[in-house]
């Protein structure tokens, strides 16, 4: 780790600054408020792993003639001068799934990413066909074109919506995030190579989260043992390409690849919204089912499908979502069994195994995902 000494020294505080009790109290209040807001945003469109945020680690850059500090400063500065970026990124996922989800056996789905920096605001758009999201630094809109249904989120954290893709909105963020998060991380291996006119940066990272139950293992980049490789032009310091692979057994399976990066392009209005989409306010979440265990809440929800009991369903998901996404599939379904609840991965979801008999007589076996709303009641976060 001697090669990192210069960076550590650069980041080390020069004075011992202690916060007052009043400031500490204010910070705790802000963090708690943000935690509640993030939970409210995740439950509606989050699915299994919407809140999964990749732990990006430092890949130290040491090309000949430059110190790590000098190269990082130059690379971040070079990327910062790019006002417009267009990227094509292929991800092993499903077109309608949340942006953070990956699957080792899934086909590649092409994502188009656009980002424009205007003054201090970053405007961006991520489009993978059946799911779209856009943000302007103040609010985020995300929608499912086939359902004509979307969600509006104020003061949003793009990481909660995009997962690892949030780091690719501007390639500059890759280096910034890695530099900020490297200190104190002892669960990654680093490697740097100079190949012709390029610098290849590699990190081998351990999965983040608790996998006593492995259900969510390899369902997102953060929740996997992964190898990330970045190719940066040694002269311009610009990102040229990148791949992310998940280590499964003795194999590396590529789950994300940056196919192209174009700088200086502008493709219409980045934050334009699609016509005919009904947007639900993320803050208007239901109160949930209170005073029940996770198994009891899951049983009550799943039993409500048979007669489509909206007095129950409207407490655990928005009426717009249940009507557009679930009514046709689950109305008339009969609950056959409920299993024991468990947790997995990084998030706060509790999963309950279930078996449903659908109207056509087929059996559906899955794990319903429940989370606690601000009120303390259970709401549905996915798994249907």
CA dihedral (75, 76, 82, 86) positive or negative:
positive
Residue 323 makes CB contacts below 8 A (sequence gap 6+) with none
Neighbours of 94 (CB within 10 A): 17
Reading across the β-sheet that carries 149-154, which strands appear in turn?
A: 188-195, 198-205, 226-233, 239-248, 251-263, 84-92, 108-118, 121-127, 132-135, 139-144, 149-154, 278-281
For residue 204, the model assigns a pLDDT of 87
CA–CA separation, 91 vs 54, rounded Å?
Answer: 15
Angle CA 259–126–203, to nearest 5: 50
What is the CATH architecture assignment of 2-12+51-278? Clam (2.50)
CA–CA separation, 368 vs 161, rounded Å?
Answer: 20
What is the location of CATH 2.50.20.10 in the chain? 2-12+51-278
135's tokens = 């943000």
For residue 142, the model assigns a pLDDT of 95
CA–CA separation, 367 vs 348, rounded Å?
Answer: 15
Q: Alpha helix (H) ranges present in 123-185?
A: 158-162, 171-182
What is the location of CATH 3.10.450 in the chain? 285-382
Question: Residue written as tokens 């779209």?
Answer: 132
Helices (H) and strands (E) in the chain, counts: 9, 16
Contact in structure between 91 and 111 (CB atoms under 8 Å): yes
For residue 193, the model assigns a pLDDT of 80
Query: Which CA distances in Å does 355 have to 114, 303, 358, 364?
Result: 41, 11, 10, 6
Domain 285-382 belongs to what topology? Answer: Nuclear Transport Factor 2; Chain: A, (3.10.450)
118's tokens = 């205007």
3-state secondary structure of 353: strand
CA–CA separation, 195 vs 203, rounded Å?
Answer: 17
Taking only the tens of pLDDT, the chain with its 384 residues reads 454 444 344 334 443 434 445 445 544 554 554 554 444 344 334 433 322 222 222 333 444 445 444 555 666 666 665 568 899 999 999 999 999 999 999 999 999 999 887 666 788 999 999 999 999 888 999 999 999 999 999 877 788 899 989 888 876 677 766 665 555 555 677 777 888 999 888 888 899 999 999 999 999 999 999 999 988 888 887 888 999 999 999 999 999 999 999 887 666 788 899 999 999 988 878 889 999 999 999 999 999 999 999 999 999 999 998 998 899 999 999 999 999 999 999 988 999 999 999 999 999 999 999 999 888 999 999 999
333's tokens = 């379904």
Q: What's the pTM value of the predicted model, to 2 decimals?
A: 0.78
CA–CA separation, 47 vs 225, rounded Å?
Answer: 21
For residue 212, the model assigns a pLDDT of 93
């Amino acid at each position: 780790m001697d090669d990192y000494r210069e960076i550590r020294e650069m980041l080390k505080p020069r004075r011992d600054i202690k916060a007052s009790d009043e400031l500490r109290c204010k910070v705790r209040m802000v963090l708690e408020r943000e935690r509640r807001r993030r939970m409210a945003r995740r439950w509606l469109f989050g699915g299994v792993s919407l809140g999964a945020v990749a732990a990006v680690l430092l890949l130290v850059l040491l090309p000949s003639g430059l110190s790590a500090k000098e190269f990082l400063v130059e690379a971040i500065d070079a990327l910062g001068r790019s006002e417009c970026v267009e990227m094509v990124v292929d991800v092993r996922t499903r077109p309608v799934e949340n942006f953070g989800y990956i699957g080792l056996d899934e086909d590649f789905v092409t994502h188009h990413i656009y980002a424009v920096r205007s003054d201090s605001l970053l405007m961006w758009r991520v489009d993978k066909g059946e799911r779209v999201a856009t943000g302007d630094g103040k609010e985020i809109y995300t929608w499912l074109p086939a359902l004509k249904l979307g969600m509006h989120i104020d003061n949003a954290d793009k990481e909660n919506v995009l997962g690892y893709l949030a780091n690719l909105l501007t390639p500059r963020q890759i280096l910034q995030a890695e530099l900020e998060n490297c200190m104190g991380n002892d669960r990654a291996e680093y490697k740097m190579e100079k190949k012709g006119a390029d610098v290849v940066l590699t990190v081998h990272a351990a999965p983040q989260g608790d996998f006593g139950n492995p259900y969510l293992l390899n369902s997102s980049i953060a929740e996997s043992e992964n190898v990330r490789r970045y190719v940066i032009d040694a002269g311009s310091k610009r990102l040229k390409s990148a791949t992310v692979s998940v280590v499964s057994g003795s194999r590396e399976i590529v789950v994300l690849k940056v196919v192209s990066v174009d700088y200086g392009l502008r493709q219409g209005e980045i934050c334009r919204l699609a016509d005919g989409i009904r947007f639900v306010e993320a803050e208007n979440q239901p109160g949930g089912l209170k005073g029940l265990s996770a198994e009891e809440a899951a049983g009550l929800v799943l039993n409500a499908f048979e007669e489509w009991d909206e007095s129950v369903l409207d407490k655990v998901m928005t009426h717009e979502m249940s009507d557009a996404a679930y009514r046709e599939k689950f109305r008339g379904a009969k609950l056959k069994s409920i299993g024991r609840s468990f947790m997995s991965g990084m998030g706060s979801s509790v999963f309950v195994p279930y078996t449903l008999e659908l109207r056509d007589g087929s059996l559906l076996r899955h794990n319903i995902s429940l989370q606690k709303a601000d009120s303390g009641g259970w709401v549905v976060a996915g798994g249907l």
